[in-house]
Structure 1
């Protein structure tokens, strides 16, 4: 019901077109550049820094486009028919859950907990393995990434339930106002004003959720050195691009598996 009501104010500007082009640029241009740099036996930190800046700006352009699209038609983000079935279980209020960012970051240094690394091997984070394995740049004594991630996740534990509660409250208020209106006025009840309030409320909720995603990613970027950030953003880009792998989608569509 909520989707159909929101769609009453829908216009012709589709976010799907932007997302398709955004993923294409990420897959065909930015990700291969970073992959080539990380495949080098001795990556140039200045080149990595430049490529990271381009990649971070690309993600920020995505978040900015989400904000614009929510003002244009928030229903296409909250109820995205254009998302493929593999993406949808990972979505939270219109886009990927911010916990994905922190979980991805934590996976690198959690995987290295059993490795023995001398401090001499942490010089500028330049001890690394072949491409396809995480560089061993996560255990330098001057970097407490575990503590940083815990602080991020503490903030998420406060913000995520708060934003989700606002979404539930907006939907509950809609149902209550519609019920009262129909009981009092019947067929003469005009739902337009009530729907406008819902659209405004849900747009604000979505933009705050999107702001949280952008903030977490910026905090991660600021906490990492250039080598760590290169690994993180390379994996994050692979995560986004991977959902649109034709072979994976074909295998999923041909299987009987469903994701709810």
Structure 2
């Protein structure tokens, strides 16, 4: 008897279908961002602001759908099958580290004013402090899983050796673990979105177009590299070299 509920295949399939469509829409947004960047001298701030709002909404949609999936199976979002192994090497708590935002700004925006630099410096400190807090919380959760009583229940469950009463106990432990993990992912995603929103508030519309272009290009570049690595691995496996 198992205390763990298997992932809902319909929920997983629905999310993967959503994600493929999301990537297509991301390509379209990148085209718009690049066009606006090239013609920024002809664009009105209101037009750029409207585009920026749509791009941010696009990313927010991803986090909303991801939250729904995490509610069904939070452990899956920690090792998402819709990302390649290479992409996952960049992840921190089921997604990119929020502080990466500031590296992108520094690389893409070279005309920051002193006041903008000051405000961004404050955001950097606040964001890194929250990252440390979340990292410590996740470490505590992981340590609790490795504690002898829980680890023994998991091992015995894997061998099918739990009795009815133990299944109830293990189920309660597992549910508490699931809730804790879901909470950490939710807070990490909130920090990611909130950091981006605060950066957008600091930058001008033209600067934001450059920032969002760089962020989108980096994400797409990492994905392409990941897919190429997977293709190369499959090709090498089929060649008899290994």
TM bucket by the smaller chain? 0.7 to 0.9
Task: Provide the aligned length of Structure 1 versus Structure 2.
Answer: 221
CA shift in 2, pair 1:55/1:254, >3 Å = same
Q: Which has the higher contact order (CA 8 A, sep 6+)?
A: 2
Q: Which 5+ residue runs of structure 1 have no aligned equivalent?
A: 113-137, 256-260
Q: Contact between 1:106 and 1:149, CA under 8 Å: does it hold in 2?
A: no
Counterpart CA distance in 2 for 1:84 and 1:182 is 28
Q: Contact between 1:52 and 1:230, CA under 8 Å: does it hold in 2?
A: yes
Q: Contact between 1:34 and 1:230, CA under 8 Å: does it hold in 2?
A: yes
Shift of 1:212: 0.6
1:136-164 Cα deviation digits (max 9, x unpaired): xx244xx5222222212211221112111
Match of 1:233 in 2: 212
Relative to its length, the structure with more helix (as a share) is 2
CA shift in 2, pair 1:182/1:66, >3 Å = closer
Shift of 1:108: 3.5
Shift of 1:46: 2.6
Q: Contact between 2:7 and 2:73, CA under 8 Å: does it hold in 1?
A: yes
Equivalent residue runs for 1:172-211 within 5 Å: 172-176=143-147, 177-179=149-151, 187-188=162-163, 189-190=166-167, 191-211=170-190
SS of the residue aligned with 2:86? coil
Within the alignment, does 1:11 sit opposite 2:8 as a pair? yes
CA shift in 2, pair 1:50/1:208, >3 Å = same
Shift of 1:204: 0.5
Q: Any runs of at least 4 consecutive aligned residues in structure 1 with deviations exceeding 6 A, and if so which?
A: none
Match of 1:151 in 2: 122
Counterpart CA distance in 2 for 1:64 and 1:150 is 29
Q: TM-score normalised to the size of structure 2?
A: 0.80
Q: Contact between 2:74 and 2:178, CA under 8 Å: does it hold in 1?
A: yes
Q: TM-score normalised to the size of structure 1?
A: 0.75
Structure 1 stretch 42-51 or stretch 87-96: which is displaced more?
A: 42-51
Shift of 1:221: 0.9
Equivalent in 118, 127, 134 of residue 163 of structure 1: 134
CA shift in 2, pair 1:66/1:163, >3 Å = same
Shift of 1:198: 0.6
Q: Which 5+ residue runs of structure 2 have no aligned equivalent?
A: 156-160, 234-242
Q: Contact between 2:98 and 2:195, CA under 8 Å: does it hold in 1?
A: yes
Q: Contact between 2:33 and 2:213, CA under 8 Å: does it hold in 1?
A: yes
Q: Contact between 2:36 and 2:209, CA under 8 Å: does it hold in 1?
A: no
Match of 1:106 in 2: 106
Compute the RMSD of aligned alpha carbons. Answer: 2.9
Q: Contact between 2:79 and 2:94, CA under 8 Å: does it hold in 1?
A: yes
Match of 1:84 in 2: 84
Match of 1:42 in 2: 41
Q: Contact between 1:106 and 1:146, CA under 8 Å: does it hold in 2?
A: no
Shift of 1:179: 4.5
Shift of 1:240: 2.0
CA shift in 2, pair 1:139/1:103, >3 Å = closer
